[in-house]
Amino acid sequence: MRTFKKLFFFVMLASLFSCQQKVEQTVHLSGQLVDLSSGNNVTMSYNGASSELGKLRDIILTTDESGNFDTTFVLTEPGYYNLSRNTIYLSPGDDLVVKITQTNSDAEFSGTSSEINTYMKKRLFPKGGSFLEAGRNIVGDFDATKLLIDSLAAVRQAELDALQTADSKFKELESMRILADQVNSYISFYSYAGYAIRQKGLEFELPERNEFMKNLAPIVAPMFAKLNKAEYLDVAVVRDVFSYYSNDELKELWFAGLEMPTRTKELYEASALSYKLSGAVSQELIDEVTNFANNVANKDFADEMRGKIEAASKLLPGRPAIDIALEDTDGNSYKLSDFKGKVIYLDFWATWCGPCIQESPYFEAMAKQFDGKDVTFLTISTDKGKKEWLNYLAANEKQLKQYHTADPNLGEGWDLKFIPRFILIDKDFNIADAYATRPSQEVTAETIESLLN
């Protein structure tokens, strides 16, 4: 009897331990997402190292009409995620309530990790020159501006050190973010200095670019040495500044004698290959990337690359066209497959896209050129909101019938990462060219003629 009680005790203990492990590997996330999508699905994008290669770790948040959501998902290790302009940090076991808008400073957090994510609201933007804030913080020549950059970095570090609930791993990563933001600020000074001279009336002499980059070497080289750890690649700005390693001239200036970890080398090599998969693909390219993925040391990179390979393979010529839902200006619903039986030339655009607007007259002229032939010209807006699209059409008359789509298959299936994007589909609803030439190019009419014949 005593043996049975002991056995029962250990079984219950094991069961409890198992349940605790399971609970600790989940995140409960709820709250409201304001004006982040015209539909009911919002992508919370993983922002760690492997996000450079694919989207397998992205999480879809399903909202109601008011943007409210409540979801639980498995998370085995802490990580950064992007929601609109906010970068949030989640750990296994978190129970976090959020309110996110299109303005990162307006975000509200409560629950576990709320202190950490309130701190993250002030995350700087690498494309804005980090501490330079798009040139607004240039106060004079490089030396004067560097003093301000360093003082702002010290303030940010003090805010990080003051966090009560952040663990040592988070603080280490964020310290490296501050350091990388400093590096990015120094490098970006040259790009924004002209703006400061013109717009702010500052007077200082800017050296030649090569001289400026050379002068940065003794400043940034020791900083790169501190940032040179594989785990720091999960911080986006660290990945950004290390991308200069691919420039042979800067590699000699800033990275001399620096041995990159295997993970860093693999990330940038994999990133270059993945970028190729974002354009016109061939079986030879698919085979090249597959061979790399099969031999890469980091499993998360290999998994993302295989996902990219699978997605890119679907866009090879001769593969079935991927169906998407469309809506016209009157709210009538269609499917792309409704136009099967004719050659289809697709124009994906948006009202905010200048190059898209420039191609529009050529697209309409080509449609007129092929009038009466077995080819359909479909111009499809990818604007997030239909209101912007309809307002634009009200002010800009079009000859062709207009369509709008918010179908997830646009990104997941057609891998639409840039616009304008043109696609050709044959009469059997198979892909002729997933990255077709623009209507302004003469070869496009020739290609359509060949499909008709």
HEC readout, 139-204: CCCHHHHHHHHHHHHHHHHHHHHCCCCCCHHHHHHHHHHHHHHHHHHHHHHHHHHHHHHHHCCCCC
Span 413-441, average pLDDT: 94
- Cα 335 to its chain centre, rounded Å, is 28
d(CA 227, CA 305): 25
Using alpha carbons only, give the angle 350, 356, 358 rounded to the nearest 5 degrees: 140
Span 271-276, average pLDDT: 89
Dump pLDDT digits (tens) for 5-30: 444 444 444 444 444 444 468 999 99
Virtual torsion, Cα 157, 158, 162, 166, nearest 10 deg: 0
Q: Are 177 and 237 in contact (CB under 8 A)?
A: yes
Dump pLDDT digits (tens) for 34-50: 988 766 889 999 999 99
| 77 has pLDDT over 80 | yes
| 2 has pLDDT over 60 | no
Looking at residue 368, its amino acid is K
Q: Are 113 and 105 in contact (CB under 8 A)?
A: no
DSSP class of residue 397 equals -
Pairing of strands 325-328, 108-111: unpaired
Q: How many helices (H) and strands (E) does the chain have?
A: 14, 15
Q: Are 145 and 219 in contact (CB under 8 A)?
A: no
Looking at residue 255, its amino acid is F
Query: 344 pairs with which residues across the strands?
Result: 376, 425
Segment among 127-136, 155-164, 276-285, 385-394 with least mean pLDDT? 276-285
In terms of pLDDT, which residue wins out, 400 or 16? 400
Span 419-438, average pLDDT: 95
Pairing of strands 325-328, 95-100: unpaired
Q: Are 334 and 326 in contact (CB under 8 A)?
A: yes
Residue 403 in tokens = 């369509």
Cβ neighbors of 364 (< 8 A, separation 6 or more) are 377, 398, 399, 400
DSSP class of residue 52 equals G
pLDDT of residue 38: 62
Dump pLDDT digits (tens) for 232-246: 999 999 999 999 998
Residue 63 in tokens = 């909202």
d(CA 86, CA 237): 14
SS (H, E, C) 188-205: HHHHHHHHHHHHCCCCCC
Q: What is the CA radius of gyration of the chain?
A: 26
Pairing of strands 402-404, 421-425: unpaired
| 1 has pLDDT over 90 | no
Provide the residue count of the chain. 453
Segment among 110-119, 192-201, 233-242, 252-261 with least mean pLDDT? 192-201
Span 115-125, average pLDDT: 97
Q: Where does the pLDDT of residue 154 fall: very low under 50, low under 70, confident under 90, or very high at 90 and above?
A: very high
pLDDT of residue 35: 85
Dump pLDDT digits (tens) for 313-338: 999 999 999 999 999 999 999 999 99
Q: Where does the pLDDT of residue 339 fall: very low under 50, low under 70, confident under 90, or very high at 90 and above?
A: very high
> 126 vs 49, 241, 285, 297, 351, CA distance in Å?
16, 9, 31, 29, 26
CB atoms closer than 10 angstroms to residue 385: 14
Segment among 14-23, 64-73, 274-283, 318-327 with least mean pLDDT? 14-23
CB atoms closer than 10 angstroms to residue 183: 25
